[in-house]
Amino acid sequence: MQPVMTAGEIMEMLDREFPQIHAGGKVYSISSVSPGEAVVRLTASELHLRPGGTVSGPSMMALADLAAYVVILAHIGPVALAVTTNLNINFLRKPGPGDLLCTCRLLKLGKRLAVVDCAIAGERDEDLVAHATATYSVPPR
């Protein structure tokens, strides 16, 4: 399935409809959108760290949720009311310092539900730090 929105178009929509994602600064960016896939970057700041200097679990959950939304929007268009109905995450290891990339792949894009697989890794590390699955409710198109 070919994307119907570009990374730039999605970012413009997010900036307009969800400005709160930038409350701590512009730390999220869309690295790429391709058929069935999107990659979103978190440039972690002090706000995202927990004691010990590692990126917090809630920050990784937010990254997975946003990246899942991005891949869905890329393929259905600007539907602000697509909402998360389930997010399951497994934390696999502590992320090292630096940016995190979340690669999300569409597993199913149906009329009412979308299911997404999300892999989070450090920018320079092939080992996953977290793995998530997300289900979104898609409003009638």
Residue 124: the pLDDT is 83
Closest to 95 in 3D by CA, of 120, 78, 117: 120
Domain span at residue 131? 7-137
Whole-prediction pTM value? Answer: 0.95
The answer to whether 54 and 82 are in contact (CB under 8 A) is no
Q: What is the CATH number of the domain that holds 12?
A: 3.10.129.10
Could you give the number of structural domains in the chain? 1
pLDDT exceeds 90 at position 25: no
Q: Is residue 81 part of a domain?
A: yes
Q: Is residue 82 part of a domain?
A: yes
Name the amino acid, one letter, at 15. D
Q: Is residue 1 part of a domain?
A: no
pLDDT in tens, 72-85: 999 999 998 999 99
pLDDT in tens, 113-139: 999 999 999 988 889 999 999 999 999
Q: Is residue 2 part of a domain?
A: no
pLDDT in tens, 49-105: 888 888 999 999 999 999 999 999 999 999 989 999 999 999 999 997 789 999 999
Beta bridge partners of 122: 100
